[in-house]
Amino acid sequence: MNKLVKSVDRDQLIPEFLHTMNGILGLTARELELMATLIRMDMEYVKEPNTNKNVANRYNRKWITEHLGITKDNLSRYIKSFKEKGILKAGPAEDELCVNKALIPMVIGDRLQLTIILKIKPDDI
């Protein structure tokens, strides 16, 4: 098995994780910045009683537009695109939306271990 190791600062873990995954995800630099923010929001989400988890709720959208400088229309386009790619997952409730669990870094001790499997398609004959 091949193994590559890279040391990163804790505050750069999510962006580095996404850069590592971007060969599969194929996101632009701006999309990576937004996804890092959405992952942080998902990981820190505090669910109110009798509400559904929604990382793209109006409070988070407002914070994103103010701090990342993304317009409301572009943010809606990004979110729609992330849903289509399976990066954001809708829940059973209409207003439920969270980051795909495969994109939530699971830190164990001082490391994040990632396994990537590339399946080779059989030849079409």
Condensed to tens digits (0 to 9), the pLDDT of residues 90-119 reads: 988 888 899 999 899 888 888 888 888 888
Segment 32-86, tens digit of pLDDT:
999 999 999 999 988 778 788 899 999 999 999 999 999 999 999 999 999 999 9
Q: Do you know the residue count of the chain?
A: 125
- DSSP per position, 50-98: T---BTTSHHHHHHHHHHH---HHHHHHHHHHHHHHTSEEE-SSTT-EE
Distance from C-alpha of 36 to C-alpha of 16, rounded to nearest angstrom: 9
> Are 54 and 48 spatial neighbours (Cβ–Cβ below 8 Å)?
no
In the chain, the domains with their CATH numbers are: 10-112 (1.10.10.10)
Ramachandran angles phi, psi of 107, nearest 5°: -90, 130
